[in-house]
Structure 1
Amino acid sequence: MIRHTTASLLLQAGVDINTIRGWLGHVSLETTNIYAEINLETKARALATCEVQGNAEVQKQWRDQPDLMAFLRTL
């Protein structure tokens, strides 16, 4: 219980999962990945780092690109 709690808290604090793997003495990272599935807060923080920030230009849909449509009609 102490190992699991400590590993979970280290992961929540941002410690790299591979470092935690070494600390726990796991041979396989798959064993340590159990701690990566621990709570929704950690998952939400990870997803938040993947979100596009600021005024990202939205790309046109392929159907809204006249040059591409003209090329496709020639096929």
Structure 2
Amino acid sequence: MSQVKGEEEVQEMIKQVDGHGRIVIPKKWRNKHLKNNSYVVLKIKDGEIILKSHEPVDITKHFNSLEVDLKSDLADWDNIKRELLK
């Protein structure tokens, strides 16, 4: 089933839940909204189960680099370490 709400197209599908609580997300939906090995968020709101795609935040982009004002020669790691630990 497909319907339009405002400018957003809403698609619905009836799926059976298996004995282990699993459902199959249609391939077209997975290809469009999920990456391989991606995560989803399951939420219960007003008696409905809501499933949303989730992109984990890559926190490494926040600490792969660091700017510091050093007086030590970069070739002397012992002095750099002492200066950073002050």
Report the TM-score, using the length of structure 2 for normalisation: 0.24
Q: Which has the higher contact order (CA 8 A, sep 6+)?
A: 1
* Higher gyration radius (CA): 2
Q: Which of the pair is proportionally richer in strand?
A: 2
Report the TM-score, using the length of structure 1 for normalisation: 0.25
